[in-house]
Amino acid sequence: MRKRFLQTVKTADQLLQELFPICRSLTGEGVRTTLKLLQRVATFESKHIPSGTECFDWTVPDEWNITDAFIKDASGKRIIDFKKSNIHVVSYSIPIHRVMTFAELEPHLHYLENLPTAVPYRTSYYQRDWGFCLSYEQFKQLDRQGKYEVCIESRLEPGELSYGEAVIKGSSQHEFLISSYCCHPSLANDNLSGVVLWTLLLQELQKRTTRHSYRFILIPETIGSIAYLHSNQSVMKKSAGGFVLSTVAGPGPFGYKQSFLGNHLIDRVIRQTFFELGIEPRCYPFDAYGSDEVRYASPYFRIPTGTICKDKYYEYEYYHTSLDNLDFVRAEYLVQTLQLYLAAIEMLEQNYTYQTNFPYVEPMLGKRGLYPSIGGSIKQKATSSQHVTHQYKLVDRQAITGTQLDAMKWLLFDCDGSKSLLDIAEQRKMSMSLLFETAELLRKEKLLNRKVDT
């Protein structure tokens, strides 16, 4: 278990290191390169929507590519250099190359006075403009009387919006959405961590036979989800809910952004996952500012999605700055969050509804060898070898424990066909996997029936 965890950490770390330097944006070579590299780890299709495609009230923009950019001082020295960090250039900047005064340059400079060593991340997707981002320290050193050679070698021309897609087919009618975005340049927690987690989660689920279907999409934020909804209206309308992966590897606390419903199955499996692990996440109610969950929850689609974060976007100081880099995130945190998502998905998979074959009175467990043979020891605290203690472990944290006998008793009491395993887990404060394993044991003993899957 530990060995597998460490192996996944290594893979996550390699992906973070390899993908971090790539200059990604809504469109362009950076996104395509990223998708290609990820396709070595998980199987998915790379798809494309042409620039100019109308999607509801939006239009897929021209493709943006950039090869170089700099600001040179009078001595010809590159004082701001795209090659050192791609976030020095406002994403979607139009090309420019000329000498200008400080006064001409200044309106195009972006910096943060309150975080003087950080370079902010800025975009200008829908307004043709250009700009540079620099630290406040760098800004203060600029000669107010000086002249500067300013150059952005970019191209904005019809091309395509690229995205990744994979559908894992299950046997039930339910399809869940797992979405992340891939449009940020060299920024680690928001959003490279989400990209890597999306890939590792896909890789892991592709190894399994799943009960439900899972639609994985990796798109540029906002316009990507809008374009995807537009071209996949009927399947998205039927989506059973899902997860939007974002900001999953920071040093700060675990967080959970609720779906727009707040108490949907997705919310409940996330809450139960945290509960079983003894982690109290920071809870963020749904709000209309956020990532693609807002588009998915639009009135026509109303797809409830939840988000598990580690250092949620908007909440950490380094958000959208050069300090959100590979020193800020850790692959180990990313894999911890991955395991939370896997545990939540496992609960979706295990959430069957059972019905007892013994509705009049409970069946006699003793004659089936399912009950401790020496009477009187039940409920005593001392450990009895008859009690099979089940421990649910994840990331070396020990969660709630309970005996299999407890699970049997409650299952035979609760399973009247109206309650799902999650209902029982929540009400009885027991682990879903213990209930599932026990319910399957009772099914084998012909004490419970599983209701037909829908």
Residues that bind Zn ion (CB under 5 A): 190
Residue nearest to Zn ion (CB): 190
Closest approach of Cβ 186 to Zn ion, in Å?
A: 12
Q: Whole-angstrom Cα distance, residue 318 to residue 310?
A: 13
Nearer to Zn ion, 193 or 239 (CB): 193
Distance of CA 309 to the CA centre of its chain: 7
Closest to Zn ion by CB, 228 vs 319, is 319
Shortest separation between residue 120's beta carbon and Zn ion, angstroms: 12
Checking 363-366 for CB contacts under 8 A at 24+ apart, the result is 363/412, 363/447, 365/408
Smallest distance, Zn ion to C-beta of residue 191, A: 6
* Nearer to Zn ion among residue 190 and residue 292 (C-beta): 190
Q: In angstroms, rounded to a whole number, what is the distance separating the alpha carbons of residues 107 and 90?
A: 13
Residue 257 or 268: which CB sits closer to Zn ion? 257
Query: In angstroms, what CA-CA distances link 319 with 115, 116, 217, 305?
Result: 11, 14, 24, 22
DSSP-assigned letter for residue 10: H
Q: To the nearest 10°, the Cα dihedral for 181, 310, 199, 158? A: 10
Kindly tell me which of 190 and 406 has the beta carbon lying closer to Zn ion.
190
Number of residues that make up the chain: 454
From the CB of 280, what's the least distance to Zn ion, in Å? 26
Q: Considering beta carbons, is residue 16 or 265 the nearer one to Zn ion?
A: 16
Q: How far is the CB of 168 from Zn ion (least distance, A)?
A: 27
Q: How far is the CB of 102 from Zn ion (least distance, A)?
A: 30
221/364 Cα distance (integer angstroms)? 57
> In the complex, what is the shortest distance from the CB of residue 257 to Zn ion, in angstroms, rounded to a whole number?
14
Residue 65: partners with Cβ closer than 8 Å, 6 or more residues away? 28, 29, 154, 155
3-state secondary structure of 273: helix
The residue (of 324 and 406) whose beta carbon lies closer to Zn ion is 324
- Assign residue 76 a region: left if phi > 0, alpha if psi is -120 to 50, beta otherwise? left
